[in-house]
Amino acid sequence: MDDIEAELNIAETHADFTQDESEHRQRLKRPVQLHCQVKDRGFFTGIYFLKCNRKCLELLREAMLHHRWQEAVGYFSSYIQTLEAKTYNSYQSVVAEILWRLGTEILHHLPNTSNEDFNALYEQLKNVGVLNFSKISLEHCYHLLLNGQMDEAKRQLSIAESWRYGRVSRSQSLSKTLITAYCGLLDYLIWNEKKSSVSENEELSSNHEMHSYFRQASVTLKDIISLPGIWDPFVLSYVNMLEFYKQEESALQALENYAYNKEFPSNPNAHVYLYQFLKRHDAPREKLISTLRILHSLVPSHELMLELCNLLLGTLERSDTEEALAVCMDLLEFSSWKTDIRAWDCLLTILKKIRKKKWQEIIQKEWKVRRSLWVPLHFRDFLSLKDWMDNHKLMMIIKKDCLRIINENMREYCRVAAIAEKEVLLQIRMKRKKKQHKIQTAITELTN
């Protein structure tokens, strides 16, 4: 709320103090009494208008902070009327955004709010500030989609796409591009809905309708994803349609352009989508590895790095095994992977293969570089107790075996691991004895 008030104050102050006070004298209808003084003749001056407006915003903020939503509705109604009565072009966009943010927040928390209330607010806001027409239209579309009103969302986007208002519409080119993109996405959603509802018997009769939506969506989405930007949901929708119609070459070309085009911003998801597509279509191992190598350079902590390690281990090249070791150790240096069983199990598999191939110098070379980090990160004394309490398998089997292959002697960690192993074995023996005792007792009762 503070940032809203600050934006409005700056805009109002700039507008009021650059003009003569006499220009601000105009009749206003006050929907609520806000303790604002007036001239004897019943006219508001500019400075009193500001006081009235700010007082209303303070009361509105107070009501929202204390969740008095019904009271906030009254203040919001007053606030929007005062701003409509005196709105300067210099800060019309700021006013419209303030009203938009406040109004939607109140309606989301107000009980018994209907979709008609939201629609009425959005339509009112579009008319208050045409400088935000495209943004508000997009927000309106999101709200309709969340409420399952796909046809109405499509209608609103079509209106917004064809909307023109001189230079104002030209200044909203980015928002207009997003509107076009979402028009294509809605065509895809309708196509997908038709696809899932068509049965085998109805397929021939409904094919023409599906193709019609496919053509509309594919043309729009193809144009959109060719523009530099982040277009993840639109790319996935386009590729899904092309795969359905067995146009794998076109889908691959679109994904490669999205991932490798230098005009596009760096996007790890683009390489994830390309890898998943190649994997679905049984691409060669070398192609999969090269795709994941680029992803590793961007996000070395990505979960697909485990698959990269497995792919590298599947080759016979020593350099690939060395790379797999480096990738896996990179992964374990991130806090989110620090105690992950899958990552440690992958590391142990790599170390065992290296030992089997008698490439021990690879391990020593990598360990020499990383030892100063790994010892405090993974093998400190207090971590041994934590691993003992949290994960016996990680400590007793994987970490202990990794240290043995690396030929590193962490006495305290190994000592606690040995104690933990004895404890676990003792618990297993006790459980076996209890189970055997129950069996003996049951047999004795049956014989008697």
The predicted-structure confidence for 267-298, as pLDDT tens digits, reads as follows: 999 999 999 999 999 999 999 999 999 999 99
Q: If residue 291 lies in a helix (H) or strand (E), which one and from where to where?
A: helix 285-298
- Report the alpha-carbon distance of residue 346 to residue 306 in Å, rounded: 7
DSSP code of residue 399: I
Contact 327, 296 (CB under 8 A): yes
CB-side neighbour CA atoms (13 Å) of 22: 0
Q: Which residues pair with 441 in a beta bridge?
A: none
The residue assigned the tokens 């994803």 is 225
Amino acid identity at 49: F
Alpha carbon of 205 to those of 201, 209, 211, 212: distances in Å?
8, 8, 11, 13
DSSP code of residue 111: T
Tokens of 285: 């191992």
Sign of CA dihedral 130, 136, 138, 143: negative
What confidence score (pLDDT) does residue 34 get? 38
Q: What are φ and ψ of residue 435, in 5° steps?
A: -65, -45
Tokens of 261: 């085009």
Q: For residue 23, what are the contacts with CB-CB under 8 A and spacing of at least 6?
A: 46
- Report the alpha-carbon distance of residue 388 to residue 430 in Å, rounded: 19
Contact 338, 377 (CB under 8 A): yes
DSSP code of residue 432: H
Amino acid identity at 223: D
Q: Angle at CA 423, nearest 5°, toward 421 and 429?
A: 105
What confidence score (pLDDT) does residue 1 get? 54
What confidence score (pLDDT) does residue 383 get? 67
What confidence score (pLDDT) does residue 311 get? 96
Contact 76, 102 (CB under 8 A): yes
Name the stretches of the chain with pLDDT < 70: 1-50, 81-94, 127-131, 164-173, 198-206, 381-390, 392-393, 395-397, 410-428, 448
Alpha carbon of 257 to those of 242, 263, 412: distances in Å?
15, 10, 53
What confidence score (pLDDT) does residue 149 get? 85
- Report the alpha-carbon distance of residue 198 to residue 186 in Å, rounded: 18
What confidence score (pLDDT) does residue 237 get? 95
What confidence score (pLDDT) does residue 23 get? 41
Contact 379, 413 (CB under 8 A): yes
Prediction pTM value = 0.75
- Report the alpha-carbon distance of residue 64 to residue 58 in Å, rounded: 10
Q: What are φ and ψ of residue 41, in 5° steps?
A: -80, 0
